[in-house]
Amino acid sequence: MNQSLWWRRSVPPEQRPPLTTDTRADVAIVGAGFTGAWTAYYLTRLEPTLRVVVLEAGRVGFGASGRNGGWCSALFPAEPDRIAEEYGHEQAVAMQRVMHECVAEVGHVARTHGIDCDWAQGGSVYLARSEAQLERAAGYVEAARRFGFGSADYRLLDAVEAGSRVGATTTYGAVYTPHCAAIDPLKLLRGLASVAESAGVQIFEGSRVESISPGQLTLAGGATVAAGTIIRATEAYTPLLAGQRRTLAPVYSLMIATAPLPASIWDEIGLAERETFNDLRHLIIYGQRTADDRLAFGGRGAPYHFGSTVRSGFDSEPRVHQALTEALTELFPILTGVEITHRWGGPLGIARDWWARVVLDRDTGLGWAGGYVGDGVGTSNLAGRTLAHLITERKSELTELPWVNRPLRNWEPEPLRWLGTNAVLAAMRFADDAESRTGRSSRVAELVGRLIR
């Protein structure tokens, strides 16, 4: 793997030993990313006597949790309007409110346990850099008002105020929300894993799970774990497990990071409060100012690989990394020629209906969470809390939310999955190009939005 900025600027802890002998646990968790770590953490808070075992194929933070853009946001893949269509207005409001609370909760846990994760809750700026994007920005804020969220949650900025926060070119306005923090995600995860271990959780690295069945999971080396509850927290790596090829589609997101930038450049770019930022194009981009004054910037555009294949070689896509560099300098021309010190990538998990889930089948004891579509840093915290409540049979507001035990529709078999997913990516590129030429909202993007449900 092309190691992320977060990995390369840190000294990894000593590797934990693998599990090589059969063992028993009350709860076994497959995957030591954010979902697995948060679930283990909250289980120790609710039921300290439970024996919790976490199995990780690589190292803690190997997957998306150690490669993402470092946004702890309140973004959920399904927007409130869509949730309201299926579950009603009140459930849509409840889901968004609890997502807002996730950001505060993650910050609270980090402060409580002294986890230094470069936390900076400067909020997020969604730039509108065309008339079509400005129309979407206004619609975004209008939708927030329909669900009872005021200017303290989402605010439409004019061009001057948007530019004072993010000095990007051709800015018509923006949406600002305080519900986002810029972080070093790997620092957060490593700290969280250590806190869970200090509470009695056992984490085994280099322990690849090959199969999961009710009451037992089997590792590649032949060792087994018998457990009443088994949680799959494997996100985009889920297709590597037996029988899970069509559960989630792994789609790659790639990133770059600059060398540390001088104050003179930051005076022009802005991000004085370390706001995270994107713009409202269809093919997503995202960025943050890191604690050591780099600009970390990422986006979609890498192809989906046939058969839901996940491979380390896909972490690097020179064409996409070059496109990201060009997009970054188009946003901020002052960065032309600045050294790009890090290039990396990794897969994120997408469910067929683009809706994240938390699932626990009490009859089999099998559960899982994922399908975050790239917004998993905050959402995984909610997943961990919710799974902990479900496992310990505590009925709460969390266990009644509309993503809990939502039925899952598998992805289409190949080659339809490959054709459809890459067609969506191509359509988003086409829509962005058309909007930049015409200034009008793309009908193609609207049609695709209906088709992916």
Span 313-363, pLDDT tens digits: 999 999 999 999 999 999 999 999 999 999 999 999 999 999 999 999 999
Does position 200 have pLDDT exceeding 90, yes or no?
yes
Please answer whether residues 329 and 269 qualify as being in contact, where contact means their C-beta atoms are separated by less than 8 angstroms: no
Structure tokens at 208: 């690849």
Does position 289 have pLDDT exceeding 70, yes or no?
yes
Q: Which residues contact 151 (CB under 8 A, 6 or more apart)?
A: none
Structure tokens at 242: 């037996």
Specify the pLDDT at position 14. Answer: 92
| List of long-range contacts for 76-81, beta carbons under 8 Å, 24+ apart | 76/356, 76/375, 76/379, 76/403, 77/354, 77/355, 77/356, 77/371, 77/372, 77/373, 77/375, 78/354, 78/355, 78/356, 78/403, 79/143, 80/143, 80/144, 80/146, 80/147, 81/143
Alpha-carbon distance of 206 to 351, in angstroms, equals 27
Alpha-carbon distance of 350 to 225, in angstroms, equals 28
Q: Of 317, 347, 414, 369, which Cα lies nearest the Cα of 40? A: 369
Tell me the pLDDT tens digit for each residue of 395-429: 999 999 999 999 999 999 999 999 999 999 999 89
Q: Which residues contact 109 (CB under 8 A, 6 or more apart)?
A: 41, 115, 192, 381
Q: What is the pTM assigned to this prediction? A: 0.96
Please answer whether residues 293 and 260 qualify as being in contact, where contact means their C-beta atoms are separated by less than 8 angstroms: yes
If you average pLDDT over every residue of the chain, what do you get? 96
Does position 226 have pLDDT exceeding 80, yes or no?
yes
Homologous superfamily in CATH for domain 5-68+185-246+355-400: FAD/NAD(P)-binding domain (3.50.50.60)
**Band of the pLDDT at 80, cuts 50, 70, 90?**
very high
Q: Of 339, 345, 184, which Cα lies nearest the Cα of 259? A: 339
Specify the pLDDT at position 450. Answer: 73
Maximal C-alpha separation, the chain: 63
**Band of the pLDDT at 437, cuts 50, 70, 90?**
confident
Specify the pLDDT at position 240. Answer: 94
Q: Which whole number is the average pLDDT over 81-86?
A: 97
DSSP label of 339: -
- CA-CA-CA-CA torsion sign (81, 87, 92, 98): negative
**Band of the pLDDT at 70, cuts 50, 70, 90?**
very high
Q: Which residues contact 428 (CB under 8 A, 6 or more apart)?
A: 282, 283, 300, 445, 448
Tell me the pLDDT tens digit for each residue of 365-386: 999 999 999 999 999 999 999 9
| Conformation bin of residue 372: beta by default, left when phi > 0, alpha when psi is -120 to 50 | alpha
Q: Which whole number is the average pLDDT over 289-295?
A: 98
Alpha-carbon distance of 64 to 345, in angstroms, equals 9
Q: Which residues contact 236 (CB under 8 A, 6 or more apart)?
A: 63, 64, 248, 250, 251, 310, 346, 347, 348, 349
**Band of the pLDDT at 448, cuts 50, 70, 90?**
confident
Please answer whether residues 405 and 359 qualify as being in contact, where contact means their C-beta atoms are separated by less than 8 angstroms: yes
Q: Of 366, 369, 349, which Cα lies nearest the Cα of 357? A: 369
Q: Of 254, 256, 252, which Cα lies nearest the Cα of 329? A: 256
Angle at the Cα of 393 (from 389 to 399), degrees rounded to 5?
A: 50
Q: Kindly state the helix (H) or strand (E) to which residue 368 belongs, with its residue range.
A: strand 366-370
Specify the pLDDT at position 12. Answer: 85
**Band of the pLDDT at 443, cuts 50, 70, 90?**
confident
DSSP label of 18: P
Secondary structure of residue 441 in the 3-state scheme:
coil
Annotated domain spans of the chain: 5-68+185-246+355-400, 412-453
Specify the pLDDT at position 189. Answer: 98
Specify the pLDDT at position 222. Answer: 96
